[in-house]
């Protein structure tokens, strides 16, 4: 039996563990390795496949193989996810506004903001496109569905998520937040009960509160996601009008569901005849992994409403998103028209222009590797600086980390102390209608260069000791 592939794999593994080959680096091509070891390309493929199974490397379509950040830094994930799920009123908006208003001014260490790396070359290219298109000002509003060229570009990219949707099925919005709000408006009514993940995105809680909906929080384990049997049981027990999920590198936990889970979500909502609203905003930010499929791609009945935007992958200032509302298309289009007429034309033209080239793909490849490297360094810093009882999630995409701090520490008090030192954090209290996550914080691990990140986390660790 030929074990040559194992010999090759072990040599590469040794080089990775000794940092001769560093996280994020590209491995030699199959052909080059074949010549170096005097073996067939198939043997090298076996070696690389072995390393992929061990999650040491990953392949990227037409780009090669890259070294992954190690997953084990002896930092446990916050695993507890059991609590009683019951319908509740939402009263989070005032607290969210207080936190938001305090962080309006620039802070030297913005660890609390869910914003992408705005120093990338792609952001500068977008700004150039905006300047070019600002010369021409149309004498009409863009239609409620948005710019056709932009919708065509979004449609071209849709296959990467597992299912093509046509330009005429897309509604351009002013960011994913508007997409979610429109989706909630068209498939639920005042007083309706909406099932959501807990912990979950606080912007969704804000929309639900403003719209007068009630909420049923479903426990989410950062490592495993939702328990599907528990989910179906809760949906059956309560008169739920819609289910909202953020299945790809979710905010705040970073969890990404398997295709099997996504297929099961579709089966569950189909059996119970309820719509599913999918927030897909982080899906293109896997740390070197291929883009995960959407739940939308498993839906054959038009009951999944897909929401996304460019705010998390390019720049938060673009405020351009989209909604693919399936069977709710006419209601969603009419609501968009009645509420805002349409989304800003200038940003749409600039994005359509930008997406026609290969800049966006190059940008995604670059930031995915960069975010993976930054996560690796961030975990090392957390292990070095924070209390040993600290637990944090192990996301494979995005740039957000969900951290459980020891004991009964009040994250709102920590937030105030940190802000006085120029450090913004997001207190866990915002991610649920109850105070069950009061000793959690969400941090952006990609918002700063390593030296500044170490400085900020060192100060934050001192404040944690002070607040404990």
Residue 21 and residue 27: Cα distance in Å, rounded? Answer: 8
Segment 207-248, tens digit of pLDDT: 999 999 999 999 998 888 899 999 999 999 999 999 999 999
Contact 321, 176 (CB under 8 A): yes
- What are 256's strand-pairing partners? none
Question: Token pair for residue 198?
Answer: 């807990």
User: In the chain, which residues fall in CATH 3.40.640.10?
Assistant: 138-359
Segment 69-100, tens digit of pLDDT: 664 444 555 655 567 889 999 999 999 998 88
DSSP, collapsed to helix, strand or coil, labels residue 32 as: helix
Residue 212 and residue 192: Cα distance in Å, rounded? Answer: 8
Q: What is the DSSP letter of 291?
A: P
DSSP, collapsed to helix, strand or coil, labels residue 379 as: helix
DSSP, collapsed to helix, strand or coil, labels residue 245 as: strand
Q: Residues 6 or more apart from 23 whose CB is under 8 A from it?
A: 67, 68, 69, 70, 372, 373, 376
* CA-based max dimension of the chain: 73
* Share in percent of the chain as helix, strand, coil (round to 5): 45, 15, 40
DSSP, collapsed to helix, strand or coil, labels residue 225 as: strand
Segment 432-468, tens digit of pLDDT: 999 999 999 999 999 899 999 999 999 999 999 988 7
Q: What is the DSSP letter of 169?
A: G
User: In the chain, which residues fall in CATH 1.10.10.10?
Assistant: 4-67
pTM: 0.84
Residues above pLDDT 70, as percent of the chain: 92
The domain defined by 138-359 folds into: 3.40.640
Q: What pLDDT score was predicted for residue 214? A: 98
Question: Token pair for residue 124?
Answer: 């500068």
Residue 320 and residue 201: Cα distance in Å, rounded? Answer: 19
| 300 exposure class (CB count in 10 Å sphere: 0-12, 13-18, 19+) | exposed
Q: What's the CATH class of domain 4-67? A: mainly alpha
DSSP, collapsed to helix, strand or coil, labels residue 424 as: strand
Segment 151-169, tens digit of pLDDT: 999 999 999 999 999 999 9
């Amino acid at each position: 039996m030929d074990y040559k592939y194992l010999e090759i794999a072990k040599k590469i593994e040794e080089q990775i563990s000794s940092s001769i080959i560093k996280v994020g680096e590209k491995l030699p091509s199959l052909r080059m390795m074949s010549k170096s070891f005097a073996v067939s390309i198939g043997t090298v493929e076996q070696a690389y496949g072995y390393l992929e199974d061990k999650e040491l490397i990953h392949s990227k379509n037409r780009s090669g193989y890259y070294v992954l950040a190690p997953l084990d830094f002896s930092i446990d994930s916050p695993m507890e996810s059991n609590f009683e799920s019951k319908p509740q009123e939402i009263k989070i908006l005032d607290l969210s506004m207080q936190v938001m208003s305090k962080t309006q001014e620039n802070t030297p260490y913005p660890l609390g903001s869910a914003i992408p790396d705005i120093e990338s070359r792609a952001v500068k290219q977008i700004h150039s496109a905006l300047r070019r298109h600002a010369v021409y000002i149309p004498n009409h509003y863009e239609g409620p569905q948005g710019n056709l060229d932009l919708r065509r570009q979004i449609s071209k990219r849709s296959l990467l998520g597992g299912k093509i949707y046509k330009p005429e099925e897309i509604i351009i919005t002013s960011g994913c937040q508007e997409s979610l709000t429109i989706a909630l408006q068209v498939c639920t009514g005042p007083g309706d009960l909406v099932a959501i993940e807990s912990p979950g995105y606080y912007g969704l809680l804000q929309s639900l509160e403003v719209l007068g909906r009630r909420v049923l929080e479903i426990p989410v384990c950062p490592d495993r996601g939702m328990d599907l049997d528990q989910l179906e049981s809760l949906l059956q027990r309560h008169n739920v009008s819609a289910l909202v999920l953020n299945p790809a590198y979710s905010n705040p936990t970073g969890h990404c569901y398997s295709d099997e889970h996504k297929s099961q979500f579709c089966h569950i909502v189909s059996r119970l005849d309820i719509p599913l609203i999918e927030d897909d905003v982080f899906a293109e930010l896997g740390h070197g992994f291929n883009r995960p499929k959407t739940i939308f791609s498993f839906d054959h009945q038009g009951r999944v409403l897909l929401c996304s935007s460019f705010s998390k992958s390019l720049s938060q200032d673009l405020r351009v998103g989209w909604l693919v509302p399936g069977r709710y298309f006419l209601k969603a289009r009419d609501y968009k028209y009645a509420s805002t007429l349409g989304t800003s034309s200038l940003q749409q033209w600039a994005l359509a222009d930008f997406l026609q080239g290969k800049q966006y793909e190059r940008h995604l490849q670059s930031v995915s590797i960069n975010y993976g490297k930054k996560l690796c360094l961030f975990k090392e810093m957390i292990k070095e600086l924070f209390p040993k009882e600290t637990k944090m999630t192990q996301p494979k995409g995005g740039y957000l980390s969900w951290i459980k701090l020891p004991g009964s520490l009040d994250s709102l008090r920590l937030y105030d102390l940190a802000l006085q030192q120029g450090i913004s954090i997001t207190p866990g209290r915002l991610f649920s209608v109850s105070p069950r996550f009061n000793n959690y914080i969400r941090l952006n691990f990609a918002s700063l260069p390593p030296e500044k990140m170490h400085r900020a986390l060192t100060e934050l660790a001192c404040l944690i000791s002070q607040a404990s």
